[in-house]
Amino acid sequence: MSVIGSFNDWKRDAHPLSARSDGSGIWEGFIPQVSRGALYKYFIRSANAYEVEKGDPYATYWQTPPHTASVVWDLRFEWTDHTWMEKRKAPALNNPISIYEVHPGSWRKVPEEEGRWMTYRELAAELPEYCRFMGFTHVEFLPMAEHPFYGSWGYQVTGYFAPTSRYGTPQDFMFLINALHEANIGVILDWVPSHFPTDEHGLGYFDGSHLYEHADPRQGFHPDWQSAIFNYGRHEVRSFLISNALYWLDKFHIDGLRVDAVASMLYLDYSRKEGEWIPNKYGGRENLEAIDFLRDFNTAVHQSFPEVLTIAEESTAWPGVTHPVSSGGLGFDLKWMMGWMHDTLAYFQRDTVYRSYHQGQLSFSLHYAFSERFVLPLSHDEVVYGKRSLLHKMPGDEWQRFANLRLLHTYMYGHPGAKLLFMGAEFGQNHEWRHDYSLDWGENQHPAHNGIQRLVKDLNEFYGNEPALYERNFSREGFEWIDHQDATNSVLAWIRKGASPSEELLFIANFTPVVRENYRIGVPRPGYYREVFNSDNLRYGGVRRCLSGRNRKLSYSPARPCPFRSVDTPAAGGNSIKIPPQF
């Protein structure tokens, strides 16, 4: 093994490395007078005459693809986010979590320069202020580690320790994170320990053997993604990945890691037919080594950075994903609520005439909403590959589509769980996401799109100002159905509750394009009820004047012992009403 690079004219015999005598498998050497910015690779010749040039798995900077050399670099940076780093020590799960999911290469382009993507520093000049204006608490970046294929969106990683150089240097990425922190915005990084690409310069078949991956393709090759699967049974591989996670948290001040494709790690038969996988030692399909790795990962992160969030994208009903490792769980802080997302979007895509037959698709999520700590994800995966944008998933004419999208957002913010929106959803973009193009920011000039943006902004503010929406976000005590059985009218009504009895909100959602006048809703007690949010507000492109601040005395039915209130529910709309304090 030797180091080749711009400092030795890429001569394979100029700087050989030697294996340590301790049997560790580590090779070492010293190369003098190598300066910052020098390019380098490892030249490897194995015992079976296999020869290859590899990038450094631990490189902190890489050439911009399609070039594949590692770059000698340092990570010195003057951080000024001390206030944020102190503030984040408060338990994040007890506060609002509203995540804006971003692909940096397509958030906004520079049209004056042939539509190139923005640099990290250009993003730092716009993204933090936009997120603060919109009221998001966190940005979640699609994978930022170096990846050779731009069309993979970052999910095919070759340089695990290097932010992609497409948008700038490691310090430029730090500058962006620092700017987000100074704007009071947390940063979550999409992290991919589930698989890696087989590009020659990457981790695959690294030294002429299957060093990082399983040798048997039934364990080491992913049929869907045509990529290699890490061998979690090797201590060196687990150390590599856990060290990488801690590196991002330490050197880049990352506030959370969203672990991609957890289900593909947990199941040996994931996306495989019978005979295409190897059972574990007990004959089961659970990947015992991956389970241990995920527990070790969460333990290491929470021991070193207790204030950092770990989030699982786990698409099955695996039990205990967010339960403590000490109780047999995987130890994550949050899990994407994929069932809620699939059922909700399936329901909203139905013609409103048929929704009454499928009301259970909305109410079912509350049967398991508190079995884990969930994030409600309307993510990038739902607006690509012909799935259409959120706006164009909605049925009906233009008015109905916008009304339904406003209702979808309102329903999500009223539902228990943290929130996640992919960029473009906050203003109802027409096109589905295209990674080679910018978001259609010009659509904001259209009143209906601008109304969606105002709605999401106000929902974030509403979320942050109402303890009923976050204090018991992950507790059954924070939710109560009022009516989930009125399928005939396609209406749902529920209460969200804070820690104090005085913090309660009534939500009413009408999923048909018909106004329900004098609709009777059971309420917990008498008093004055004040509407505090309405998705049909003129401000959002609706037809109803804002009723905020308007008190209405409760009506009673002499024949019923329980109080009720008569309300007008907007067509394809949702509203929230402040419940009077309990004395």
C-alpha–C-alpha distance, residues 176 and 161, integer Å: 17
Q: Calculate the CA 80 to chain-centre distance.
A: 26
Burial of 162 (0-12, 13-18, 19+ CB in 10 A): buried
- Record the tokens describing residue 222, joined without a space: 């992913």
Backbone angles phi, psi at 129, to 5 degrees: -65, -35
- Record the tokens describing residue 242, joined without a space: 């856990």
Active site residue 292: no
C-alpha–C-alpha distance, residues 474 and 373, integer Å: 6
Residues 6+ apart with CB under 8 A from 521: 482, 483, 493, 506, 508, 564, 565, 566, 567
- Record the tokens describing residue 378, joined without a space: 């309307």
- Record the tokens describing residue 549, joined without a space: 């601040």
Among 260, 314, 426, 504, the active-site one is 260
Check if the beta carbon of residue 473 is closer than 8 Å to that of residue 416: yes
Per DSSP (E only), the strands in 79-168 are 98-102, 109-110, 116-117, 138-141, 145-146, 159-163
Check if the beta carbon of residue 258 is closer than 8 Å to that of residue 420: no
Among 313, 382, 443, 504, the active-site one is 313
C-alpha–C-alpha distance, residues 161 and 304, integer Å: 18
How many CA atoms lie less than 13 Å away from 361 in the CB half-sphere?
18
- Record the tokens describing residue 335, joined without a space: 């899990």
Q: Calculate the CA 413 to chain-centre distance.
A: 16
State the maximum Cα–Cα separation within the chain, in Å, rounded to a whole number.
Answer: 96
Backbone angles phi, psi at 464, to 5 degrees: -75, -25
Check if the beta carbon of residue 44 is closer than 8 Å to that of residue 17: no
Residue that is written with structure tokens 């005598």 in the block: 21
Q: How many CB atoms lie within 10 A of CB 446?
A: 16
Give buried/exposed letters for 300-337 (b at 16+ CB in 10 A, else e): bbbeebeebbbbbbbbeebeebbbebeeebbbbbbbbb
Active site residue 568: no
Q: Long-range contacts for 351-360 (Cβ within 8 Å, ≥24 apart)?
A: 351/395, 351/396, 352/395, 352/396, 352/400, 352/490, 352/511, 352/512, 352/513, 352/572, 355/490, 355/511, 355/512, 356/487, 356/488, 356/489, 356/490, 357/487, 359/484, 359/485, 359/487, 359/490, 359/492
Residues in the chain: 583
- Record the tokens describing residue 497, joined without a space: 């509750």
| 332: nearest Cα among 305, 376, 366, 297 | 297
Strand partners, 42: 3, 54
Q: What is the DSSP string of 302-322?
A: HHH-TT-EEEE---S--TTTT
Could you give the residue numbers annotated as active site? 260, 313
